[in-house]
Amino acid sequence: MEKRKGETRTLGGKAAIFCAIFALGAATIGSASADGADEKNANTEIRRGPFIVRADFDLTPLEGELRELDALVDEMTRTFRLPKTRENVVVRIFRDEATWRDYWNREFGSLPFRRALYDRKNYLFDRDGANGRVYLCVNPLFANDLRHECAHAILAATLGRSVPIWLDEGIAEYFEQPPESRLTNETWRSATVERLRRGEFSTLESLEKLSSMNEMTVVKYCDSWAWVCWFLNGPDAVRDVLPQYLNDLASRKLFAPKPSKRLKAIAKDGAAERSLRRFYGAL
Ligand SMILES: [Zn+2]
């Protein structure tokens, strides 16, 4: 499965990073020419855990942000009790948006431009041992973009497979914020309260039915973030749901129950929804 993401949209007057994942024909991306251009232009390389970071400029000014990748791997692994990463991830950083746009136009030009991208496919004969590629450029939201795309990459590299769209994006939106802002997320928290009060908030079952990125609208990003945030920080009884589900996916368990089914087994008669409303103060 291949993924691309990162454009700007607005919700409630706030700029929000919005990502898109969609499948493409295998010949469209990650071709030999794309890899070749990648190598030719990338003459700086830093290795951090599973990440192979490449750029055609001095990465010293980004050392702080890149160092955070270690903490991100540790935190996600601990939170979800994930296995060790099975694959490396190549992170290609462009010096500015113009350079990234040039590259995009050459390699992915038929698609709408994205500020950042995570792409995953099976690269045959890949010398990096990496099925995942993160592409992003230096911009004012670089740290958020890096965490978001690398959160997708960490999930895929540890599970060795993709996860349902809503969960993939909800987790990436959650970890995109610096640790101190994950609960107070300026982009989504107040929007969540509004949507709960207006009765517009998505049920977990409806998010689980999403199968294409075309269906993953801005509000679905919001609701996916809100469910993930509640699962990770809500009542003790629900904190095992996502780790257990992801580990079932990692072990290729047949018929792994979806999170909504697991939730129903521990919170009956709308108790979960009431708890979520209380959590966000939207009673
Ligand atoms: Zn994303």
Q: Are 123 and 83 a contacting pair, CB within 8 Å?
A: no
According to the model, what pLDDT value does residue 254 have? 81
In a domain, 39, yes or no: yes
Examine the domain organization and report whether 194 and 243 are in the same domain: yes
Residue 68 CA to ligand 1 centre (angstroms) = 18
Counted domains in the chain: 2
Residue 169 CA to ligand 1 centre (angstroms) = 5
Residue that is last in its domain, among 162, 187, 221: 162
Examine the domain organization and report whether 221 and 257 are in the same domain: yes
Nearby residues for ligand 1 (ion, Cβ within 5 Å): 5, 19, 169, 172
In a domain, 169, yes or no: no
Between CA 90 and CA 133 the distance in angstroms is 5
Find residue 8's DSSP bridge partners: 17
Domain of residue 156, CATH code: 3.40.30.160
Examine the domain organization and report whether 144 and 204 are in the same domain: no
pLDDT digits (tens, 9 = 90+) for 87-145: 899 999 999 999 999 999 998 888 889 999 998 877 666 778 888 899 999 999 999 99
Question: 134 is in which domain, residue-wise?
Answer: 7-162
According to the model, what pLDDT value does residue 214 have? 86
According to the model, what pLDDT value does residue 180 have? 94
Residue that is last in its domain, among 162, 190, 206: 162
Residue 269 CA to ligand 1 centre (angstroms) = 32
Residue 32 CA to ligand 1 centre (angstroms) = 25
Residue 108 CA to ligand 1 centre (angstroms) = 17
Examine the domain organization and report whether 21 and 138 are in the same domain: yes
Tens-level pLDDT at each residue, the chain (283 residues): 333 344 333 333 323 334 433 333 222 233 333 444 455 556 899 999 999 999 999 999 999 999 999 999 999 999 999 988 888 999 999 999 999 999 999 988 888 899 999 988 776 667 788 888 999 999 999 999 999 999 999 999 999 888 999 999 999 999 999 999 999 999 999 999 999 999 999 999 999 999 988 899 999 999 999 999 999 999 999 999 999 999 999 998 888 999 999 999 998 888 999 999 999 998 7
Residue 279 CA to ligand 1 centre (angstroms) = 24
Examine the domain organization and report whether 19 and 153 are in the same domain: yes
Residue 173 CA to ligand 1 centre (angstroms) = 7
- CA end-to-end distance (rounded Å), the chain: 39
In a domain, 79, yes or no: yes
Residue that is last in its domain, among 128, 162, 196: 162
In a domain, 2, yes or no: no
